[in-house]
Structure 1
Amino acid sequence: MIRYWLPAKRACKPVLSALAGGLLLAAPARAQQPALPRDTSFTTYSAFVKARKQHPDISIARPPVPATIRSRVNVPYTEASSRPLLLDVFYPKARRHRPAPAVLLVHGGGWRSGHRSQHHAMAQQLAARGFVAVTAEYRLSPEAPYPAAVQDLKTALRWLRAHARPYGLDTTRVAIWGFSAGGQLAALAGTTNADPRYETGTTYRSRSSQVQAIVDVDGILAFTHPESGEGDDRKGLSAATQWLGGSREASPGLWEQASALSHIGPGTPPMLFINSGVARMHAGRDDVRRQLTALGIYSEEHTFPEAPHPFPLFNPWFAPTLEYTVQFLQRVFGRP
């Protein structure tokens, strides 16, 4: 099975702040602040090089930017760890008769790598289909361990509602979409609606961080599960151990708490699962779906058995991933 993050014993590279064409580009550090240590092992291009060995016909998904959308990038949404956290907004140009549903997209990278711009293409295409799509950064494990990433994403959701008017956003129709570690985070953020453990700071606290739909793209639902491959620290600290701040054996309660499976209940929103053929990347999914069915909550599952883990970044899987996402959100929200 393929992992796309560095072992802990490798040195982290200096902070990088932009990703273009699948390559991370170095940016100058902020004045009077040291560069943040950051693992840059997971980029679109590095994942492509690895996946192409088994799938020589794939290509990086770079659809043309639709002429029908607008964008605002590098927008600060809060301050954390003495620095701004940024997001990018893509939204329809045309004025609409009613506000548009919103989607917050969360990147993957083992909770310690990756960049929000890896999902710009998906966000742009969603905007062309009538959604307000936002890609947000969050603090990675070299900077801040769990639950900081979840708290950051909850703050980004509150920012969305606080800025609904400029983007024509419907605050009653908000979804969260995530890939890999981002899928795990999306599922956890979405299943912990109104949980005070994941609300922090004073930024837009009068606004809600609740979501009304979850799209989990190859993100695990349970860390301590027979299907999970997380927590193997025999050759160095695993990505999950680094993020959670302790091993599975030493902190079992924390590992359970960070699992979306532990939070399924009557208030859980509808969920869509889009998966690769890498079985461990959907650990706990079937248990979650059984619980949702018992609660009368809608869920959907689509699997590409032949696909590698980073499939939503590549053709031929990008387009069907987009279609499954749009169809699910239209079912839950109605047409934008």
Structure 2
Amino acid sequence: MKKTIEIKAERAQFVTMTDISYAQVDQWYGHCKKDLKLDLIYPEDHTKKRYPCIVWICGGAWLTINKSAHLAYLSKLALSGFVVASVEYRTSNEAFFPSQIQDVKAAIRYLKANAERYRINPKKFGVMGESAGGHLSSLAALTTAKKFDVGDNLNQSSTVQAACPWYPPANFNSFPLPPEEYGMAAPENLLLGCDPKKNPKAVKEANPVDYITKKAPPFLIIHGSDDHTVPHAQGNELHDALEAKGCDVTLITIKDADHADIRFFQDQVWDEIINFFTSVLK
């Protein structure tokens, strides 16, 4: 059988590129350099159209990450009309905070500097991440201090226009004490390089809730009601602090869901995310 069909080109072709180097940072006590990389899904359609960009930040207790783990789901965002980048950042065994947020902001500046190449609208950026990535995406949306912008492309702004943190650590002052057997090996201790209870200055520097102003961009917070790793109270506290400043914020609670629960990867949740970013960035 032979068949001829006529196709009208109505949508862009989306291309995936992996392991794009966006910055170099010191490694091995400053003796070497390490490339930081990102994965990117972007459109090619031979037009001059620009698309909003969403930056995904992987979780893993600031100790381990896999930027490519959720590309299948991130492609749902791309096919809804976004450029999507998933970024690598230094983990806490490589560098203490604020290196992690400095890396995320460097990735945002790189993407803006290469906006024409990757078909990005540099004025339309969102951030999203899970757990440790939820913490960093919240900080990326809330912080404007120059100390967090270091490295290349400093002529570009790292500000974003929307944030969707999943189960984010929002306030280390109200975060539950780790089990005694963790000692200094608790993830938040390793991130800060100290015991948070004994170093309020370090905690304040890393606390998303301490950067909230009425100028914060719109937030969509997603948290499971039965989270045993980052308690639901953390997402609730971030919501209430934003709301108290008059900010645009919504908290979606997934009933009975635990940390990184499979329910976060159902279509209903991703439809909420797509609708949020579409309403804010388009």
Please point out which of 231, 235, 260 is paired with 2:182: 235
Instruction: Note the C-alpha offset of 1:229.
Output: 2.2
1:112 touches 1:140 (CA, 8 Å); kept in 2? yes
Please point out which of 124, 130, 145 is paired with 1:195: 145
1:179 touches 1:217 (CA, 8 Å); kept in 2? yes
Instruction: Note the C-alpha offset of 1:218.
Output: 1.0
Of 66-75 and 238-247, the range deviating more from structure 2: 66-75
2:73 touches 2:265 (CA, 8 Å); kept in 1? no
Match in the other structure for 2:245: 295
Alignment CA distance shift 1:292-1:129 (3 Å): same
Instruction: Note the C-alpha offset of 1:92.
Output: 2.6
Q: Aligned AA for 2:273?
A: T
2:125 touches 2:162 (CA, 8 Å); kept in 1? yes
Please point out which of 306, 309, 327 is paired with 2:259: 309
Instruction: Note the C-alpha offset of 1:68.
Output: 4.0
SS of the residue aligned with 2:256?
coil
Match in the other structure for 1:166: 117
Match in the other structure for 2:132: 181
Match in the other structure for 1:246: 194
Q: TM-score, normalised by structure 1?
A: 0.73
Task: List structure 1 runs of 4+ shifted beyond 6 angstroms.
Answer: none
Tell me, yes or no, if structure 1 residue 114 matches structure 2 residue 55: no
Tell me, yes or no, if structure 1 residue 134 matches structure 2 residue 85: yes
Match in the other structure for 1:220: 169
Q: What percentage of residue pairs aligned between the two structures are identical?
A: 27
Q: Distance in 2 between matches of 1:317 and 1:124?
A: 13
Match in the other structure for 1:260: 208
Alignment CA distance shift 1:233-1:80 (3 Å): farther
Alignment CA distance shift 1:197-1:305 (3 Å): same
Alignment CA distance shift 1:232-1:108 (3 Å): same
| Residue segments in structure 2 that go unaligned for 5+ positions in a row | 1-10, 27-32
SS of the residue aligned with 2:171?
coil
Instruction: Note the C-alpha offset of 1:196.
Output: 1.4
Alignment CA distance shift 1:166-1:174 (3 Å): same
Q: Distance in 2 between matches of 1:306 and 1:290?
A: 21
Q: TM-score, normalised by structure 2?
A: 0.87
Superposition CA RMSD, Å: 2.0
Q: Aligned AA for 1:207?
A: Q
| Residue segments in structure 1 that go unaligned for 5+ positions in a row | 1-65
Match in the other structure for 1:99: 50
Q: How does 1:50-129 map to 2 (within 5 A)?
A: 68-81=13-26, 82-95=33-46, 98-129=49-80
Q: Aligned AA for 2:250?
A: E
Q: Distance in 2 between matches of 1:139 and 1:310?
A: 21
1:231 touches 1:240 (CA, 8 Å); kept in 2? no
CA-to-partner distance for each residue in 1:190-233, whole Å, 9 max, x for gaps? Answer: 110x21121112x10100100111110111211111xx225555
Alignment CA distance shift 1:234-1:316 (3 Å): closer
Alignment CA distance shift 1:94-1:329 (3 Å): same
Q: Distance in 2 between matches of 1:331 and 1:196?
A: 29
Instruction: Note the C-alpha offset of 1:276.
Output: 1.4
SS of the residue aligned with 1:178?
strand
Match in the other structure for 2:100: 149
1:108 touches 1:180 (CA, 8 Å); kept in 2? yes
Q: Aligned AA for 1:206?
A: N
Alignment CA distance shift 1:196-1:68 (3 Å): same
Instruction: Note the C-alpha offset of 1:310.
Output: 1.0
CA-to-partner distance for each residue in 1:99-129, whole Å, 9 max, x for gaps? Answer: 1110000000000012111221222111111
CA-to-partner distance for each residue in 1:173-203, whole Å, 9 max, x for gaps? Answer: 10010001100111012110x21121112x1
Match in the other structure for 1:323: 271
Match in the other structure for 2:225: 277
